Amino acid sequence: MTLLQPGFFSSLPVQNALLIGAGAALLSGAAGVFTVLRGQSFAGHALADVSAAGGAMAYLLGISPLLGFFSLSVLGALALEALGTRRAAGRDLAAGIVLGAGMGITALLLYLDVTVKGSAGAAVTVMFGSLFATPPGLGRAVALGALAGLLGLGFIYRPLLLASLDGELAKADGVNTRLLGAVYLLLLALAVTLSAMAVGAILSTALLIGPAAAALRLARSPVAAMGLAALLGLGCAWGGVWLAYQSYGWTPGHVWPVSFFITALVLVVYAAASLARRA
Amino acid sequence: MRWEIVAGVAALVLGGGVAQAQPVLHAVGIENEYADVMSQIGGPYVQVSAIMADPNTDPHEFEVSPKVAGELAGADVVVENGLGYDSWADKLLSGTRATVISAQQVRNLPDSTPNPHLWYDPATMPAVAKAVAGAFAAKDPAHAAYYQAQVGVFDASLKPWLDELAQVKAHYAGTPVAVSEPVADYMLQAAGMKILTPFTLEAAAMNGTDPAPQDVSFQQDLIVNRKIVVYVFNQQVRDTLSDSFRALAQQSNLRVLGVFETMPKGAKSYQNWMLNETKTLGEYLAAGGQ
């Protein structure tokens, strides 16, 4: 068995997949640290599920999937913010209700995609991603989105960390926690959108919280955790692309879904980090 | 019996005769191309309806409604494609009185046949027409001779298409082409085209599964480096990959041929639809070969 099937680096779909995977993993890893610290994993997942409706809508309208996913993801973030209460229990409730509504709309839009537009593979692509079959120009858009998201995160990093660790202290310090939370939700919406481009809406939470949770177990400071989470995510994304490319030789002519490999690697990374922590 | 044939043909020719003759049988074609052939065989004596007739949607993704179940329950004869293409119909048809004709069965094709789009194969419809006439005759013996005669009329009417295929083959056999999915492959092969697209890529597009990046690169290379003359795509299926290959083919100044999965609305008949697509292929080959 060769370590690298021929044509890996010269392959356009692979180059695109590596670029999109990198953008998604870097922003999701860094933003995910705050998601875990703030206990918003479920909210992140709800945003991802709502964004699926945007992905399905993009097929119907013939617009860029990035635009579709992001617009609905932002709408979901606003809905969460409007419904959300300060207490964790209320927040989960709001997330669950937004999630249900989002998936319901997704079911309707996917039905329309198939019956009106004849987009046969829409459901699989929206839910589980098709990293090797992305529209032209998506790679660059994802890279730009990731850059903007990382800059934004760097901008609000200090007050956000304070608010995430101790909301009362942050308020006493004059931080507008409500506004900060809203801005953070928008960044989260962007991270979820980019991840959905890579591994689909349903699986995008894996890239968001998996590497972040692993990094928080290993790193000594939140900044270090952000950097490590981004790198671990990148490793999972690129490793997944490489393994999927390799799988062409395992079952001749077919590749296993790249989303499977990425999420499997995320699980391995998290398990390894847990063991390392315990040892 | 002879005058009956004459009367039947005359009724067809006059057109108005359709209203006078009372349909005796009710028949259903799961796909509208089969329904078209059934109505050519049944003439005024068979009322035919089609279930999948919307050229904007992909029959692979069909969802069953109660109305469809009702239509199938009342049918005397049903033609389906087989090969898993319309397997949902089998469940609805079990227990009904309908005689079910499967294009796969009349062609004696094994279940493992990879390309289910049998109606693009010139050998399929003559076999289907024969089976349909037999089933009609069994259910309505009074008009058996008419149905049998219509098979001859139908077979003869395929000639312009078969001639066109033979002509394209004579001029352009071995010309390399690429496709988005297998829909028109049988026709392209009958016209002597050499399909360079890996079948695994065609199957991934048809089934909506992840394409192999190796296959995608291969196809991009075919298009960008103009190793093919015509790019053929299914107009009824829109997906990212098919769209991007088509855009690439246009940028590379290749001829792009859009084909239909089910019979399009403007088509006069099945044979006319096939003839037109083959003619367009011939024109593109003539222009692209320069």
Task: Tell me which of A2, A11, A199, A243 to substitute to probe the interface with B (most B C-beta atoms closer than 10 Å).
Answer: A11
From the list B56, B60, B211, the residue facing A133 with the nearest CB is: B211
Span A24-45, mean pLDDT?
93
Span A268-274, mean pLDDT?
95
B209 vs A199, more confident: A199
pLDDT for position A170: 84
Same domain, B26 and B85: yes
Which residues touch A178 (CB under 8 Å, ≥6 apart)? none
pLDDT for position B239: 78
Same domain, B93 and B114: yes
Q: Which two tokens stand for residue B75?
A: 């049918």
Assess whether pLDDT exceeds 70 at residue A242: yes
The band of A1, judged by pLDDT with boundaries at 50, 70 and 90, is low
Compute the half-sphere exposure of residue A141: CA atoms within 13 Å on the CB side of its CA: 17
Cβ–Cβ contacts within 10 Å for residue B97, how many? 10
Q: Answer whether residue A1 is part of any domain.
A: no
DSSP annotation string for A107-165: HHHHHHIIIII--TTHHHHHHH--TTS--TTHHHHHHHHHHHHHHHHHHHHHHHHHHHH
Mean per-residue pLDDT over chain A, rounded: 89
A35 close contact with B: CB closer than 8 A: no
Same domain, B148 and B28: yes
Q: What is the CA radius of gyration of chain B?
A: 20
Same domain, B120 and B194: no
Contacting A with CB below 8 Å, chain B residues are 56-58, 60-61, 63, 198-200, 204-206, 208-217, 220, 236-241, 243-244, 247
DSSP state for residue A184 in the 8-state scheme: H
- Contact (CB<8Å) A130/B215: no
pLDDT for position B17: 43
Same domain, B148 and B208: no
Span B213-236, mean pLDDT?
93
- CATH number of the domain encompassing residue A214: 1.10.3470.10
Q: Find the residue in B nearest to A115 (Cα).
A: B57
Give the C-alpha separation, B207 to B250, whole Å.
25
In the sheet that B194-195 helps form, which strands lie side by side, from edge to edge? B194-195, B176-179, B230-234, B255-259
CB A259, CB A130: distance < 8 Å: no
Question: A-chain residues within 8 Å CB-CB of B200?
Answer: 253-254
Lowest mean pLDDT among B45-54, B77-86, B186-195: B45-54
pLDDT for position B49: 92
Span B55-79, mean pLDDT?
78
From the list B63, B206, B240, the residue facing A135 with the nearest CB is: B240
The number of domains in chain B is 2
Burial A28-41 (b: 16+ CB within 10 A, else e): bbbbbbbbbbbebb
- CATH number of the domain encompassing residue B37: 3.40.50.1980
How far does A48 lie from chain B, in Å, by closest CA? 21
Assess whether pLDDT exceeds 90 at residue B53: no
> Where do we find the tokens 């945003």?
A47
Span B128-134, mean pLDDT?
97
- Contact (CB<8Å) A245/B236: no
Q: Is A269 helix (H, G, I), strand (E, B) or coil?
A: helix
Specify the amino acid at residue A68.
G
Q: Which helix (H) or strand (E) holds A48?
A: helix A41-61
Q: Answer whether residue A128 is part of any domain.
A: yes
pLDDT for position B63: 67
How far does A210 lie from chain B, in Å, by closest CA? 24
pLDDT for position B142: 95
Give the C-alpha separation, B60 to B87, whole Å.
10
Q: Which helix (H) or strand (E) holds A196?
A: helix A177-199
Question: B-chain residues within 8 Å CB-CB of A244?
Answer: 210, 213
Same domain, B175 and B281: yes
B273 vs B18, more confident: B273
pLDDT digits (tens, 9 = 90+) for A217-226: 999 899 999 9
Same domain, B153 and B167: no
Which neighbouring-strand residues pair with B100? B78
End-of-domain residue from the set B125, B157, B189: B157
How far does B185 lie from chain A, in Å, by closest CA? 19
Task: Tell me which of B239, B259, B262 to substitute to probe the interface with A (most A C-beta atoms closer than 10 Å).
Answer: B239
- Contact (CB<8Å) B57/A115: yes
The number of domains in chain A is 1
Assess whether pLDDT exceeds 80 at residue B20: no
CB B21, CB B44: distance < 8 Å: yes
Assess whether pLDDT exceeds 70 at residue B267: yes
Question: B-chain residues within 8 Å CB-CB of A124?
Answer: 208-210
Q: Answer whether residue A104 is part of any domain.
A: yes
Phi, psi values for residue B154, rounded to 5°: -65, -50
In the sheet that B77-80 helps form, which strands lie side by side, from edge to edge? B46-52, B25-31, B77-80, B99-102
Span A20-47, mean pLDDT?
93
- Contact (CB<8Å) B214/A134: no
Q: Find the residue in B nearest to A256 (Cα).
A: B210
Same domain, B199 and B277: yes
Same domain, B102 and B122: yes
Domain that holds residue A163: 12-278
- Contact (CB<8Å) B213/A245: yes
How far does A110 lie from chain B, in Å, by closest CA? 11
pLDDT for position B289: 53
pLDDT for position B57: 62
Span A240-265, mean pLDDT?
90
Give the whole-number percent of chain B exceeding pLDDT 90: 69
End-of-domain residue from the set B157, B178, B202: B157
Cβ–Cβ contacts within 10 Å for residue A178, how many? 12
Task: Tell me which of A130, A248, A258 to substitute to probe the interface with B (most B C-beta atoms closer than 10 Å).
Answer: A130
The 3 state secondary structure assigned to chain B is CHHHHHHHHHHHHHCCHHHHCCCCEEEEEEEHHHHHHHHHHHHHHEEEEEEECCCCCCHHHCCCCHHHHHHHHCCCEEEECCCCCCCHHHHHHCCCCCEEEEHHHHCCCCCCCCCCCHHHCCCHHHHHHHHHHHHHHHHCHHHHHHHHHHHHHHHHHCHHHHHHHHHHHHHHCCCEEEECCHHHHHHHHHCCCEECCCHHHHHHHHHCCCCCHHHHHHHHHHHHCCCCCEEEEECCCCCHHHHHHHHHHHHCCCEEEEECCCCCCCCCCHHHHHHHHHHHHHHHHHHHCC
A118 close contact with B: CB closer than 8 A: yes
Mean per-residue pLDDT over chain B, rounded: 88
From the list A5, A120, A124, the residue facing B60 with the nearest CB is: A120
Count Cβ atoms within 10 A of the Cβ of residue A72 and give its class: 0-12 exposed, 13-18 middle, 19 or more buried: buried
Same domain, B135 and B230: no
pLDDT for position B58: 61
- Contact (CB<8Å) A12/B60: no
Lowest mean pLDDT among A21-35, B67-81, B108-122, B266-280: B67-81
Give the whole-number percent of chain A exceeding pLDDT 70: 96
pLDDT for position B192: 96
Q: Answer whether residue A4 is part of any domain.
A: no
> Where do we find the tokens 């367009």?
B280
Assess whether pLDDT exceeds 90 at residue A35: yes
- Contact (CB<8Å) A14/B213: yes
pLDDT for position B15: 47
Specify the amino acid at residue A27.
L
Same domain, B176 and B282: yes
Q: Which two tokens stand for residue B59?
A: 């029959």
pLDDT for position A123: 85
Give the C-alpha separation, B132 to A196, whole Å.
50
How far does B209 lie from chain A, in Å, by closest CA? 7
End-of-domain residue from the set B102, B123, B157: B157
Domain that holds residue B135: 2-157
How far does A200 lie from chain B, in Å, by closest CA? 12
| pLDDT winner (highest mean) among A168-177, B185-194, B212-221, B257-266 | B185-194
Same domain, B135 and B188: no
Q: Answer whether residue A3 is part of any domain.
A: no
How far does B239 lie from chain A, in Å, by closest CA? 6
pLDDT digits (tens, 9 = 90+) for A80-96: 888 765 566 677 888 88
pLDDT for position B62: 65
The band of B19, judged by pLDDT with boundaries at 50, 70 and 90, is very low
CB A198, CB A24: distance < 8 Å: yes
Q: What is the CA radius of gyration of chain A?
A: 18
Q: Which two tokens stand for residue B282?
A: 């011939």
Give the C-alpha separation, A156 to A177, whole Å.
11
From the list A11, A120, A254, the residue facing B208 with the nearest CB is: A120
Please choose, from the candidates B128, B146, B126, the residue with its C-alpha nearest in 3D space to the C-alpha of residue B23. B146
ipTM of the complex: 0.78
* Percent of chain A that is helix, strand, coil (3-state, to 5): 80, 0, 20
